[in-house]
Structure 1
Amino acid sequence: MNQAFQGKVAAVTGSASGIGRASAEALLAGGARVVLVDRDAAGLAAMQAQHGDAVIPLQLDLLDAAQCKSLVPRVLELAGRLDILHANAGLYVGGDLVDADTDAIDRMLHLNINVVMKNVRDVLPHMIARGSGDILVTSSLAAHYPTPWEPVYASSKWAIDCFVQTTRRQVFKHGIRVGAISPGPVMTGLLADWPADKLAEARASGSLLDPAEVGEVITFMLTRPRGMTIRDVVMMPSNFDL
């Protein structure tokens, strides 16, 4: 078994399901200890029951400002160090803008943009002091194409993609790599908010990724030699590009 992450500590937000869970499981398979950050207590308990002592559950609601601010201090208290941060937690708002609920827009933009920026900002002093670290952010294919059925969600990912690329240029001199993974549609709970016709079309054509496939790409990104940064991987089902 490949133990590329042996001796490392990772934290993954939104890790009780979907891409976050797949990321955590890929890191665990590589030998890391993983702090699972999520508000879903039952999901965290299930992960701990499955993976045992390598898992450190941390129940937080990142939309709460005080709890969000406590993320990095709590991780360091629980695990003593942090080598890898995967800022993955996110929400989805799709459909026509005129039909979108404004409170839902606020929540999505806050989690998809503000929380990611604050989590990354808060981990930087620790990684800078150590002279090493990896930060990975879940972006989306929507960050690279103006997807007409999701103007709010796509805008959040365009913003965070800019954040990743600019922050990467600031911190590489400290031995810190910052990258984004930009999947096309993945079979997760977020797709419950997709327009019904688009979801049916994607299912019928085989145009959906499995979360485990995203986990495999995350492993690839994080296991490159330290002198190499994979700054952004765009991955999609081949049928989705027809």
Structure 2
Amino acid sequence: MAGELAGKVAAVTGAGSGIGLASSRAMLAAGAHVVAVDRDERALGAIRDEFGDAASTLAVDLLDPQACAALAPRIIEAAGRIDIFHANAGSYIGGNLVDADGAAIDRMLNLNVNVVMKNVRDVLPHMMERKSGDIVVTSSLAAHYPTPWEPVYASSKWAIDCFVQTVRRQVFKDGIRVGSISPGPVITALIADWPADKLAEAKASGSLLEPEEVANVILFMLTRPRGMTIRDVVMLPSNFDL
């Protein structure tokens, strides 16, 4: 798909690793200028080394309310506009609810739900004024299936899936497409908190996805004709249900 995003500006949160990094690479290869957003300065440095002038980087702690509110203006200042916004940053809590730390629950719900809502809200006026734009939110298979080993995480993704579906219906008239990608378990740092036996079982059975596989689907969503919206994609390893 080389060149299919030529001239576009794509901003990706949580771009320093995992799905965010893979998504950034895929959109860069398709010709977009990527604004990589992450709190990890070292990861952003690696992105600058890899991408060169084809990327801009912004060090942002999205859990800082002032930094979060300044994100959209900073992206526009860095790259001139926002054609694509990939709301990817998130965190994970697994295990039994009774064992979950209260502060960790607050942090995860804030990042997975509140920050996504505020980021999308802040990007929309810019896209609405231009009558064009694409928003993709990283959701999860957990938004579609009540996974018993991750009730807090799954609840955050159920909430954000509802958000994506309702916002889509508000802004389609403005030429803006809103969709979500809901992968099954992906080999990223997020699943390091899985119960050890569950993680070992998934690795042994080939029941994990690579971040690049998710990025390829995101690129497919973004490169459809403007009259078509790929609104929700659920993807999982074929062995997942074994």
Q: What is the TM-score normalised by the length of structure 1? A: 0.99
Q: How far apart are 1:29 and its partner, in Å?
A: 0.5
Aligned residues: 242
1:111 matched to 2:111: yes
| Distance in structure 2 (CA, Å) of the matches to 1:74 and 1:50 | 22
**Does residue 69 of structure 1 match 2:69?**
yes
Q: Which residue pairs with 1:178 in the alignment?
A: 178
**What is the identity, as a one-letter code, of the residue corresponding to 2:125?**
P
Pairs within 5 Å for 1:1-242: 2-242=2-242
Please list every run of 5 or more consecutive structure 2 residues that lacks an aligned counterpart in the other structure: none
In the alignment, residue 81 of structure 1 is paired with which amino acid? R
Q: Which runs of 4+ in 1 moved over 3 A?
A: none
Deviations 1:205-235, CA, capped at 9 Å, x for gaps: 0111000000100110000000000000000
Corresponding letter in the other structure for 2:222: L
TM-score (norm 2): 0.99
Tell me how far 1:48 sits from its aligned partner: 1.0
Report SS of the residue matched to 2:134. Answer: strand
Q: Percent identity?
A: 74
Matches of 1:2 and 1:180, distance apart in 2: 23
* Structure 1, gaps ≥5 residues long: none
Q: Deviations over 1:85-116 (max 9, x none)?
A: 00000000000000001100000000000000
Tell me how large the CA RMSD over aligned residues is.
0.6
Amino acid paired to 2:166: T
What SS does the aligned partner of 1:129 have?
helix
The amino acid across from 2:162 in the alignment is C
* Matched position secondary structure for 1:240: coil
Secondary structure of the residue that 2:239 maps to in structure 1? helix
SS in 1 for 2:240: helix
- Displacement after TM superposition at 1:2 (Å): 1.6
Q: 1:25-47 deviations in whole A, cap 9, x for unaligned?
A: 01000000000000000001101
Cα distance in 2, alignment partners of residues 84 and 174 from structure 1: 15
CA distance in 1: counterparts of 2:197 and 2:186, whole angstroms: 16
Amino acid paired to 1:106: D
